Structure 1
Amino acid sequence: MGRLSVRISTPDGQSDGTLHVPDGDGTGPGVLVFPDAGGARETIRRLGDHLASMGYVALVPDIFYRAGQWRPFDVATLFTDKDERARLATLTSVLTNDRIIADSGAYADFLLARPEVTGSAIGTTGYCLGGRMSFIAAGGLGRKVAAAASFHGGRLAVVDDPSSPHLAADRITATVYVGAAKDDRSFTAEQADLLESALMSAGVEHTMDFYDAHHGFAVPDNPTYDAEADARHWEALQELYRAHLH
């Protein structure tokens, strides 16, 4: 496997990222990895490495690039530190659905133009905040996304929220996988029911699994990381991508 430092041009600037390339001939289907609220960091880049070991060309972008050189978060204390939560809120506040879709389109086009990437569509995966972004990208990019996954993603289906991703279910052509955490205040049973209803009504091929683990289970530097659930998440991704990325 190899890592390349890359820079992606977006409508709002330049996002620095890493491209993770498989061994062998170095080619494979492209996968866009949306980080959790901690942003692009070594733990997320290792997820990109793992995808490369599975035969995919993974892109990990800096989703907070509009902030310039932002100071990395300590995910272990991020949500218990008032000042850090406020700083995070500032970074995420600019990530409107339109901007997420515009950025995702730039990332997808970057991947599809790379000589290492095979096929005419990519996969997406995301964690926490990134799970929601993965869903929004699927609703905004049409057939450029063939398979979209969300792991412990929050606010996927919120009543009376005009930016709720479930409202774009009828624009999703990808196959969708949702890996939900238990007792997750950001993705409640009510949200799950609403999301299921929206996907069913739109005829979206999908799977929704509930993991016996807490929010953050698939990201190793989260205090709620769960190795068993993490292993299951990789199996689910491999099954999804093997069936739909070529």
Structure 2
Amino acid sequence: MCDIDHLAEMKPTGKGFNRRQFGAMGMAAGLAACAPIEGGNAAAAGGLSEKNVSFPAPGGTMDAFFVHPGSGKHPAIIIWPDIAGLRDAFKVMARRLAGSGYAVLVVNPYYRDQPAPQFADFDDWRAQGGMEKVGPWRAKNDAKGVQDTARAVVAWLDTQGAVDTAKGIGNQGYCMGGPYTVWTAAAVPTRVKAAASFHGGGLVGDAADAPINLLKNTQASYLIAIAKNDDARAPTEKDALRAAAQQAGRKAEVEVYPADHGWCVLDSPVYDQVQADRAWGRMLAVYSEAL
């Protein structure tokens, strides 16, 4: 579906935010700029609580960003960032989601090698030769590696006072993080009840641990949002995913969006606010029903 290596060729459009703009926005402005279009904001009454956290995970120490409403217990959400890792763009997105009533953990996918942020924003990823730099780090995030990490992440979340353990956990991933959402759902099926993949790569394959072949091992509902240029590269994969979900008995919304790979991430060179908001709304609908 997505040839991840084509990311290096993405042409800037001027639509994405950069690190200086995030700094100028600040937390309150960031929330306003990314205010949910769905109505109802849990942050309005008591504000948000946020902190950088760390905890043991296979192969190292996980560093992550945790944000949640200032009071009460809430369903937990795990965010798997794209290839440029945990950075300000994903913190802003996490605050937006927390404002809708979730306890949100943005993980560092490269924690085995370097603490976050490895890159300030997507432009910095490009400037530093990010594709080559992250290659050895990304290689450790195969199905087993991600599932081992996911178990540690879920275990940590379930010890947090802000997390409602009576409700399922959701998880969402972008670009390379797309398949991580299925692997996470398969790693802890009794806890992970929703998965959302945005312009995710590597969802379809012949290997036994390919995400498409693990849907049957999960108890999650799915949103699979596909970029138009990814679909053009692999036009049969959307139907394969729908068929696999149906065979597995999993509810799945699989849709091709009229936007390019990377459209959902705030600092992406091809960020598309209209289509990103539409995908965000569909994600919230899945979470509302499944968690």
If the length of structure 2 is used for normalisation, what is the TM-score? 0.78
- 1:191-226 superposed Cα distances (whole Å, 9 cap, x missing partner): 222222211111111111221111111101000100
Per the alignment, residue 135 of structure 2 pairs with 89
Work out which structure has the larger RCO, using CA pairs closer than 8 Å and 6 or more positions apart in sequence.
2
1:217 aligns with 2:263: yes
1:128 aligns with 2:175: yes
Helix, strand or coil: the match of 2:132?
A: helix
Change (3 A) 1:95 1:186: farther
Post-superposition shift, 1:27?
Answer: 2.6
CA distance in 2: counterparts of 1:55 and 1:131, whole angstroms: 23
Per the alignment, residue 43 of structure 1 pairs with 89
CA distance in 1: counterparts of 2:95 and 2:57, whole angstroms: 24
1:144 aligns with 2:191: yes
- 1:1-246 alignment runs, 5 A limit: 1-23=48-70, 25-69=71-115, 71-72=118-119, 74-76=121-123, 78=125, 83-118=129-164, 119-158=166-205, 160-184=206-230, 188-245=234-291
Runs of 5+ unmatched residues, structure 2 = 1-47
CA distance in 1: counterparts of 2:59 and 2:232, whole angstroms: 29
Q: What is the number of equivalent residue pairs in this alignment? A: 242
If the length of structure 1 is used for normalisation, what is the TM-score? 0.91
CA distance in 1: counterparts of 2:57 and 2:168, whole angstroms: 19
CA distance in 1: counterparts of 2:114 and 2:123, whole angstroms: 23
What amino acid sits opposite 1:244 in the alignment?
Answer: A
Structure 1 or 2: larger strand share?
1
Root-mean-square deviation (Å) = 2.0
Identity %: 27
CA distance in 2: counterparts of 1:73 and 1:140, whole angstroms: 31
What amino acid sits opposite 1:233 in the alignment?
Answer: A
What amino acid sits opposite 2:221 in the alignment?
Answer: T
CA distance in 2: counterparts of 1:187 and 1:140, whole angstroms: 29
The structure with the largest alpha-carbon Rg is 2
Runs of 5+ unmatched residues, structure 1 = none
